[in-house]
Chains A and B, each alone.
Chain A
Amino acid sequence: MTTYTAKIGEIVIGKAGDQLQAVALGSCVGLVVYDPKFKVAALAHILLPEKNRFSKPGPPGKYGTEATVEAIKHVISRGGLRENLVAKIAGGAKMFESLTSGSNMDIGSRNIAAVTRALQDNGIKVLARDVGENQGRTIIFDVATSTLEIKQANGSIVKRI
């Protein structure tokens, strides 16, 4: 079994027998788009909701809106069928209370909202989500079983969705 890790802003792709992971998500969001029938998946480690006028070009998984479209393309290019695609999302925590007020704040909630909207716009159903709260998450997606494992700070698996 091979494990592919998406660092901040990256998208990794896998087939049955592969695991896709994103480590220590805080306000970042991990988005998995997959075809459960043909066993192809893409995992994006998303940092921000969308581009703004100051944004510089970045890796494809950096912005929620773009990353969603990119992830869909990747899965289709690897043999996934558009009509089979579904998604799971995790992350978007609010690690520090003081980051919730003011204009530029609570990136976690904004990330979740942006990804949810982008999935909706592309007609992709979210089958499971473990988002928000104030806890960091490491997520591991098993492409063969379509299971998303969520681990927290002590390293134990707290849930499978």
Chain B
Amino acid sequence: MSNPPNDMIPDDDFYAAFNPKFEALQELSNIGVGHAATALSQLLNRKVDMSIPRINLVPISEAPTILASGPEETTVGVYVQTVEEAGSKLNMLLIMNEESSRTILNILRKGGDTSDLLNLDEISLSIIKETGNILLLHTISAINSFTESRWFPHAPDIAIDMIGSLTDSVLLVDHQDDEPDVKVLLVECDVFTDDGQKVKADILLLPNQVGMETLMVRLYGENWEEMI
């Protein structure tokens, strides 16, 4: 079992992209991704190196063009719904591109046929789903400890399809005001293994109104809307 690096020094790009408004969110993502990288390192049984996560508030309708070449690109989506008390929800969609999914399968299931991601067998599907689930669970646990919350995750769900079809299906779950341009928190992260393989896993955090309010108030205080 190897350990993940704990002496990461952010590069210049990180400082150039640094947005002080997102300081708390950035810190939260760093912790979340750090936890997730540790888990991934254990799962893949090799040292992994992660990029500093890039965090942004984006309209969910733009996610397909930010995360992929366009809405029709095939990606893996792992979806987990989490609830806290008082109707506070924070749903999460992890998006992984085809290449990253193959990388994970090649490491964890040598010899499996990964040529057609749309027709994977049960075992391969399960491997990808559980890998995504581990990343999401570590992210939610980081959010919980950082914001002193108790979001509780449901069982994960997987779909491999056009990214636009995946995002449109989770777009308005738990959103009563029907706003397709609702902003979601997007955490983009690259993970590298020590043998030079790259896994890109991006997480869309989709809180409902109560969840967004809860999360932001705990991170930024009551006047969070003026700060973002």
What residues make up the interface of A, taking CB atoms closer than 8 Å to B? Answer: 7-9, 23-28, 47-48, 51-52, 54-56, 58, 62, 93-99, 104-105, 107-108, 134-138, 152-155
Chain B contacts for A154, CB-based, 8 A: 74, 118
* Residue pair A99, B173 in contact (C-beta under 8 Å): yes
> From residue A49, how far is it (CB to closest CB) to chain B in Å?
10
Chosen A-B contacts, 22 in total, with CB atoms closer than 8 Å, are: A23-B70, A23-B72, A24-B72, A26-B166, A47-B168, A47-B178, A47-B180, A48-B178, A54-B177, A56-B177, A58-B178, A58-B180, A62-B178, A96-B79, A99-B169, A104-B176, A135-B165, A136-B162, A136-B165, A138-B72, A153-B72, A153-B74
From B64, B77, B154, B169, give the contact of A107 (CB < 8 A): B169
For the complex formed, measure the closest distance between the CB of A100 and the CB atoms of chain B, giving whole angstroms.
Answer: 10
A61 to B72 Cα, complex, angstroms: 21
Q: Provide the residues of chain A in CB contact with B173, threshold 8 Å.
A: 99, 104-105, 107
Residues of A within 8 A of B214 (CB): none
Inter-chain CA distance A24–B171, complex, in Å, is 13
Q: What total count of A-B pairs have CB within 8 Å?
A: 111
Find out whether the CB atom of A97 lies under 8 angstroms from the CB atom of B177.
Answer: no
Task: List 19 additional contacts besides A24-B162, A48-B172, A58-B180; criterion CB under 8 Å.
Answer: A7-B61, A23-B71, A23-B164, A25-B168, A26-B166, A47-B180, A56-B177, A96-B159, A98-B154, A99-B170, A99-B173, A104-B173, A107-B172, A136-B161, A136-B166, A138-B72, A153-B161, A153-B165, A155-B72
Say yes or no for B23: interface residue by CB 8 A criterion: no
- Chain A facing B: main interface SS: loop
- CB atoms of B169 and A95 under 8 A apart: yes
Distance (whole angstroms) from the CB of B115 to the closest CB of chain A: 12
- Contact flag A98-B155 (CB < 8 Å), given A8-B180, A47-B172, A153-B162: yes
Contact with A along B126-157 (1 / 0, CB 8 A): 00000000000000000000000000001101
Using a CB-CB cutoff of 8 Å, which residues 162-190 of chain B contact chain A? Answer: 162-174, 176-180
Residues of B within 8 A of A (CB): 61, 64, 70-72, 74, 77, 79, 81, 118, 154-155, 157, 159-174, 176-180
- CB of B72 within 8 A of CB of A95, answer no
How far is it, in angstroms, between the C-alpha of A52 and the C-alpha of B79 when the chains are bound? 26
Out of A9, A62, A135, A136, which one reaches B164, CB within 8 Å? A136
Residue contact B165 to A93, C-beta cutoff 8 Å: yes
Residues of A within 8 A of B81 (CB): 98
